[in-house]
């Protein structure tokens, strides 16, 4: 069964999803060459708890941290530690919160210092593909419409879509049905219904689509060591127009301030 939420439940979940964006914005202010990823994790955990919520990932399935921090060729599920970010890196930060009994789940990939144009283009087009997928997230469409929108866009630039990892329903559990692949055929898969809430999260590689898992049992990275980008929003399914519950606005404000 795919859970459906009431309007009231969606508003409660929106608070949790918006807190994720604010947390990622707080973390963004600390991203610079030389910072250890464990410091970013501590910043996030403190911020989440100070706002009356709980870290959604810490302890989930045994995951040891608040954030998944994945650098360069790491796609997702990187574990924070003593690694220092370097000039020219990109870093995907995936964050979850629990508030009002609902999970929020969102991710953003940040450039660190001066990043090459080819990789900046990967970030730009991956984020654009997220919004193209979201456009299809309306009642009456199917999950495959989302995947097709993402896949057809990014493959037009020669990128590849990770197959082993997908988006998902999100609500009182972090992972609910349906699975939301970033590839697929129009008109295929489960039908989208009003009241569903899904996390759409393109994971797009500069090189091949294949991935491998590190010995830590968590970190997923590209098989050819080429960079990967990851962006994620929580979206409530409505009639006629998708309702994005999470936000990148605070993140963008911090990044624009740092560039100024």
Q: What per-residue confidence (pLDDT) applies to 45?
A: 98
Q: What per-residue confidence (pLDDT) applies to 259?
A: 87
CB 3 within 8 A of CB 21: no
Domain ranges of the chain: 7-259
Q: What mean pLDDT do residues 92-108 have?
A: 98
In this predicted structure, the answer to whether residue 260 has a pLDDT above a threshold of 90 is: no
- Which residues does 11 contact at the CB level (< 8 Å), separation at least 6? none
Q: What mean pLDDT do residues 127-153 have?
A: 98
Question: For residue range 10-28, what is the model confidence (pLDDT) as tens digits?
Answer: 999 999 999 999 999 999 9
Predicted confidence band of residue 79 (pLDDT cuts 50, 70, 90): very high
The proportion of the chain whose per-residue pLDDT surpasses 70, expressed as a percent, equals 100
* Pairing mode, strands 220-222 and 211-213: antiparallel
In this predicted structure, the answer to whether residue 1 has a pLDDT above a threshold of 90 is: no
Q: What mean pLDDT do residues 77-95 have?
A: 98
Q: What per-residue confidence (pLDDT) applies to 221?
A: 98
Is the four-CA dihedral 124, 125, 126, 129 of positive or negative sign? positive
Question: For residue range 235-247, what is the model confidence (pLDDT) as tens digits?
Answer: 999 999 999 999 9
The proportion of the chain whose per-residue pLDDT surpasses 90, expressed as a percent, equals 98
Q: Which CATH number is 7-259 given?
A: 3.90.230.10
- Which residues does 175 contact at the CB level (< 8 Å), separation at least 6? 168, 169
CB 197 within 8 A of CB 5: yes
Q: What mean pLDDT do residues 134-155 have?
A: 98
Distance CA 31, CA 251 (A): 12
Q: What mean pLDDT do residues 195-211 have?
A: 98
Q: If you write DSSP's letter for every residue of 32-43 in order, what string do you get?
A: STT-BHHHHHHH
Per this entry, what is the length of the chain? Answer: 260
Distance CA 42, CA 80 (A): 9
Distance CA 259, CA 52 (A): 31
Q: What per-residue confidence (pLDDT) applies to 210?
A: 98
Question: For residue range 26-70, what is the model confidence (pLDDT) as tens digits?
Answer: 999 999 999 999 999 999 999 999 999 999 999 999 999 999 999
Q: What mean pLDDT do residues 171-191 have?
A: 98
Question: For residue range 209-235, what is the model confidence (pLDDT) as tens digits?
Answer: 999 999 999 999 999 999 999 999 999
* Pairing mode, strands 74-76 and 160-161: unpaired
Question: What phi and psi, each to the nearest 5 degrees, are found at residue 95?
Answer: -135, 145
In this predicted structure, the answer to whether residue 94 has a pLDDT above a threshold of 90 is: yes
């Amino acid at each position: 069964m795919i859970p459906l939420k009431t309007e009231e439940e969606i508003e409660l979940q929106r608070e949790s999803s918006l807190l994720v964006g604010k947390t990622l914005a707080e973390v963004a202010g600390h991203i610079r060459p030389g910072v250890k990823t464990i410091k970013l994790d501590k910043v996030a955990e403190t911020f989440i708890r100070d706002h009356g919520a709980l870290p959604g990932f810490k302890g989930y399935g045994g995951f040891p941290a608040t954030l998944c921090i994945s650098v360069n060729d790491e796609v997702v599920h990187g574990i924070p530690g003593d690694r220092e970010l370097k000039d020219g890196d990109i870093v995907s930060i995936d964050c979850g919160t629990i508030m009002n009994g609902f999970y929020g789940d969102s991710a953003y990939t940040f450039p660190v210092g001066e990043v090459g144009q080819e990789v900046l283009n990967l970030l730009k087009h991956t984020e654009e593909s997220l919004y193209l997928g979201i456009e299809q997230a309306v009642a009456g469409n199917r999950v495959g419409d989302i995947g097709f929108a993402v896949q057809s866009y990014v493959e037009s630039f020669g990128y590849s879509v990770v197959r082993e990892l997908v988006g998902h329903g999100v609500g009182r559990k972090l992972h609910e049905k349906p699975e939301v692949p970033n590839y697929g055929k129009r008109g295929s898969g489960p039908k989208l219904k009003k009241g569903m809430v899904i996390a759409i999260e393109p994971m797009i590689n500069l090189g091949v689509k294949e991935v491998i898992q590190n010995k830590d049992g968590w970190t997923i990275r590209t098989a050819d060591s080429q960079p990967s980008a990851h962006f994620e929003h929580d979206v409530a399914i409505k009639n006629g127009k998708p309702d994005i519950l999470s936000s990148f606005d605070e993140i963008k404000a911090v990044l624009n301030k740092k560039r100024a």
